Structure 1
Amino acid sequence: MELKRIAVPFDIKEVADSGEFVGYASVFGVKDAYDEIVMPGAFADSIADWKGKSAMPPILWQHRSGEPIGVHTEMREDSVGLYIAGKLVMGVARAQEAHALMKAKAVRGISIGFVTREDSYDRVSGVRSLKRVDLWENSIVTFPANPAAQVTGVKRLQEAASIRDCEAYLRDVAGMSQSEAKTFVSRLADLSQRDVESVAAIQRLQAAMRH
């Protein structure tokens, strides 16, 4: 299971003195910096699951699980994206700080933490479409960019099941062209094969020495 994060500019419609706010945590059909698009309906199952538990995902500060700062009072999909209403817990010092920063528009980012359940990848456009995700948390973040994206990329590479997956990773995350990615993977495969042949040769030599 891989927990991913997408950070977008938080479209805050209103921030009340009480700490209540409304806005969009995710917008459908918009390609992010990592060539991923959240599709309509992506959150539907997760929202239903949360409702079935009579709960809502937490609102965190900077994705820190030990620093919850608020609760959701509403979460639903509409034609635009994932609409949320929330309330900062003003008795928490960090929530008070977040509130002041949000009011001043010094902090304007929100990042969704989720696990992908269904997606598709277009190798022509290089775009990955997220069709179904499990939403774990929403975080108020300083920058509308994802500092953990490189970690996510490394995890994706570790889980690559084929050469094509590796090439897709190098294009998506490392910014290589299609030809550069193919050349890199080909050279890496050659080196790996040489290692395999070297190990096999050593094993044959060891076997011969035992006889």
Structure 2
Amino acid sequence: MTIFRKDSALQISKASRCLEIKSLTDEGEIEGYGSTFGGEPDSYGDVIAPGSFASSLAGHAAAGTMPKMFWQHDASQPIGRWLSATEDDHGLLMRGRLNMAVQRAREAHALLKAGDIDGLSIGYRIKRYSVDAETGVWTLEEVDLREVSIVSIGANENATVASVKAAKQAHELTEKLKAGDRLTEREFEAWLKGLGFSNSQAERAARLHLKRQGEPAKADDQLAFLRALRG
């Protein structure tokens, strides 16, 4: 079970901001920014700080790996390979090549070339962040970069429940539990889904949670309850 803390990984965010492709060749070579630093918060209210990818990119380099290239953040649809990922003053610059032997990659190439889609979007785990208490803006200071997708719409909240928005909600609800407050059935169910429970598990646990609310429960008791449910 993943417990949300500011010093630990939160959730995989399947989409951040959507950024314009810089170049595309007929052979499928592609270049663009998967993320930019600073500026206005994205649709999740986040700002990515310069240097936030450094540790992850160093880890990839040491392991001889690269972030994956997916279509629309779908791990079942790899469409090519990223050949380089570097931070510059502007953001995370990605260079790669679409696998033109793959039908979906050829379709993506055609859509990109026609200008029907023009986005890159990153998938990552948050490792370290800070929050502005006045504005609610999260500054992501270290992220574990997992994949960079070609997308039609960035910051797609429906792409996955494992989004930054879900992570924030789960974190807030965890803090509420730690403070000794009770959660409504809907809040408790949302919290469980943010922690990785399936819809059916979350619904069942929420019903059991309501039956146990005769006395205020401590956060540790709630976590023990969840572990028992997960088995």
Aligned match of 1:94:
104
Query: 1:106 is matched with which residue: 113, 116, 121?
Result: 116
CA distance in 1 between counterparts of 2:37 and 2:29 reads: 24
Q: CA deviation at 1:74?
A: 1.3
Aligned match of 1:140:
150
Q: How big is the alpha-carbon RMSD for the aligned residues of Structure 1 and Structure 2?
A: 2.6
Is 1:22 aligned to residue 31 of structure 2?
A: yes
CA contact (8 A) 2:127 2:143 kept: yes
What SS class does the counterpart of residue 14 from structure 2 fall into?
strand
Q: Which amino acid aligns with 1:19?
A: G
CA distance in 2 between counterparts of 1:123 and 1:164 reads: 19
Q: Structure 1 85/24 Cα, relative in aligned 2: closer, same or farther at 3 Å?
A: same
Is 1:162 aligned to residue 208 of structure 2?
A: no
Normalising by structure 2, what TM-score? 0.68
CA distance in 2 between counterparts of 1:55 and 1:197 reads: 51
Normalising by structure 1, what TM-score? 0.74
What SS class does the counterpart of residue 51 from structure 1 fall into?
helix
Range that drifts further, 61-70 or 156-165 = 156-165
Q: CA deviation at 1:100?
A: 0.4
Q: Which amino acid aligns with 1:157?
A: Q
Q: Structure 1 117/17 Cα, relative in aligned 2: closer, same or farther at 3 Å?
A: same
Gaps of 5+ in 1: 171-191, 200-211
Gaps of 5+ in 2: 1-9, 180-186, 188-209, 218-231
Higher strand proportion (structure 1 or 2): 1
Q: Which amino acid aligns with 1:21?
A: I
What SS class does the counterpart of residue 101 from structure 2 fall into?
coil
CA contact (8 A) 2:36 2:48 kept: yes
CA contact (8 A) 2:123 2:146 kept: yes
What SS class does the counterpart of residue 56 from structure 1 fall into?
coil
CA distance in 2 between counterparts of 1:34 and 1:149 reads: 13
Q: Which amino acid aligns with 2:169?
A: L
Q: CA deviation at 1:147?
A: 2.6
Query: 1:3 is matched with which residue: 12, 15, 22?
Result: 12
